[in-house]
Amino acid sequence: MSALADHAYAKMNGIGNEIVLVDLRDSRAAVSPQEARAIASPAGVPYDQLMVLQPPRLAGTEAFIRIYNNDGSEAAACGNGMRCVARRLFEHSDKTAASFETRAGLLNCWRGPSEGLYTVDMGPPKFGWKDIPLAEEFRDTRMIELQIGPIDAPVLHTPSVVSMGNPHAIFWVDDVGAYDLARFGPLLENHPIFPERANITLAQIVDRDHITIRTWERGAGLTKACGSAACATAVAAVRLRRANRIVQISLPGGELAIEWRERDDHVLMTGTATFEYEGRFDPALFANVA
């Protein structure tokens, strides 16, 4: 029987990014890709990301967090999910700041500048082609040679690429709503240039303090919000001198404030985290899980 059978969970969202939290800090159990997919099924608790809190491995951290996409694959980072984790922790303790270990490294979270806001330090971005990673060398990753559509009239072309602990490709467009992202997203996510697949974002510069985006999320599909994509877009816009270091990012699910801090190169993301409900997993979900 799965250790998740009848286990408690919390359903939350980060500006529309659907998040499920499972606290396994008191257990040695781990979540398998099959269990993650079972939870995401229509009979379960459909989500974009599943945040699994496991016992801390480093002194001074609250938990080691494993992050699953709804296809069962693992992600190294999820900014919207981290804000949900932070809110849950702060509401059940007297803490106002905490550190967590993820596959992307240590992430620090704290209460934001006003009630209902939470900030996550997503760490420094990476730009090297091997770090993103890309399948071939590009010395300048501010814009790379990649397009989709006819060679003489591409639909999307020359994206910026950035790693925020996970790979991102940002295509600069005049209107993010003018493209069928559900059609092009899967093709670009799985393009051979991205050996670990990639998050695909359409970005529209409103002005130097404001960018609008839509994202096809690696392993999850169309999403109302992707926090790491917002961070990657803000950073890419600064590198191209199209935006300031503090910028508002508008996503289908809401707004995020992003700061690429000059003094230490870290990217700070501030936004809301919404609690929806609590429940327990139906044991029947895991009946066919090996």
Active-site residue, selected from the candidate residues 78, 84, 109, 231:
78
**Is-catalytic flag, 231?**
no
DSSP string, the chain: --TTTT-EEEEEEETTEEEEEEE-TT------HHHHHHHHSTTS---SEEEEEE--SSTT-S-EEEEEETTS-EES--HHHHHHHHHHHHHTSS-SEEEEEETTEEEEEEE-SSTTEEEEE----B--TTTTT-SS--S-TTS-S-EES-TTS-SEE--EEEESSSEEEEEE-S-GGGS-HHHHHHHHHT-TT-TT--EEEEEEEEETTEEEEEEEETTTEEES--HHHHHHHHHHHHHTTSS-SEEEEEETTEEEEEEE-TTT--EEEEEE-EEEEEEE--GGGGTT--
- In the numeric block, the tokens 């999320």 are attached to 217
Active-site residue, selected from the candidate residues 84, 109, 226, 231:
226
**Is-catalytic flag, 78?**
yes
Question: Which residues are known catalytic residues?
Answer: 78, 226
